[in-house]
Amino acid sequence: MLFLEKQQVNKMINTEKIIIVGDRVLVRPEENLNKTNSGLYLPPGVQEKEKVQGGYVIKAGPGYPIGMPADDDEPWRDKKSTKYIPLQAREGDFAVFLRKDAIEVEIEKEKFVIVSQSAILLLYRDEDLLS
């Protein structure tokens, strides 16, 4: 599997306007996996049939919301902030995910996929790459 170099990871889009909801993760898919380890080039049809894909996490959602306790008689009076169980994925992680559960989107003329936490099979976190 190929990993991006330091300058390619830092070439990320401005994510301030993007809000990822719940347990979803925004991933930039790895596109240069069209060649096998032995040097054979794969046609596009073969790549589309792959069951898993990898890419770098660009932004992660807040996580799984936790329900508020039902102690109050009138829960609408107090504005309590929603609490979340955080996700394992963090920005900069390399994620291997199930392709069938990914939703393709285009942001600023770049292709991304939105994947739920449950569709991610593996996370590779290299602290040296991000520093």
- Structural domain harbouring 21: 6-66+83-130
Number of domain units in the chain: 1
CA proximity to 59, closest of 88, 106, 85, 27 = 27
- pLDDT-derived band of residue 2, with 50, 70 and 90 as boundaries? very low
Is 61 inside a domain boundary? yes
**d(Cα 108, Cα 14) in Å, to the nearest integer?**
9
Is 95 inside a domain boundary? yes
Is 1 inside a domain boundary? no
CATH number of the domain within which 99 lies: 2.30.33.40
pLDDT tops 80 at residue 64: yes
Residue 13 pLDDT: 74
- pLDDT-derived band of residue 1, with 50, 70 and 90 as boundaries? very low
Is 91 inside a domain boundary? yes
Tens digit of pLDDT for each residue in 65-81? 887 666 656 666 666 67
Is 73 inside a domain boundary? no
User: pTM value?
Assistant: 0.72
